[in-house]
Amino acid sequence: MMQQAETSVLKAEEVAKKPQVTKLIEISVDDQKRVYVNWPADKKELSIVALAEAIKLVETYVQPVIVKPKPNLMDFVRGRKP
């Protein structure tokens, strides 16, 4: 009887699976800066947790800082663009 060789590498099907995302909460703002929130009544607890996580993400988000290299005279002479 022959045995099939197995490796510890993840199978391609498992890696390719994407999370199934469902729209849960709808948030709108009118011209007077009033906020309207719509959520499913049967998922109140999940909606509260999702809002708290969203607030945490917005609060801790830091925009990436792009630092352009300073122009060098030799690069200018050689015709290189930074």
What's the pLDDT at 34? 95
Rounded mean pLDDT, 4-26:
73
**Where residue 33 falls among pLDDT bands split at 50, 70, 90?**
very high
What's the pLDDT at 64? 86
8 Å CB contact between 24 and 40:
yes
51 vs 6, higher pLDDT: 51
Q: What average pLDDT does the chain have?
A: 82
**Where residue 28 falls among pLDDT bands split at 50, 70, 90?**
very high
* CA 54 to each of CA 3, 45, 57: distance values in angstroms, whole numbers, following the listed order: 50, 14, 5
Task: Return the C-alpha torsion angle 67, 68, 71, 72, nearest 10.
Answer: 60
* Cα(27)–Cα(52) distance, integer angstroms: 14
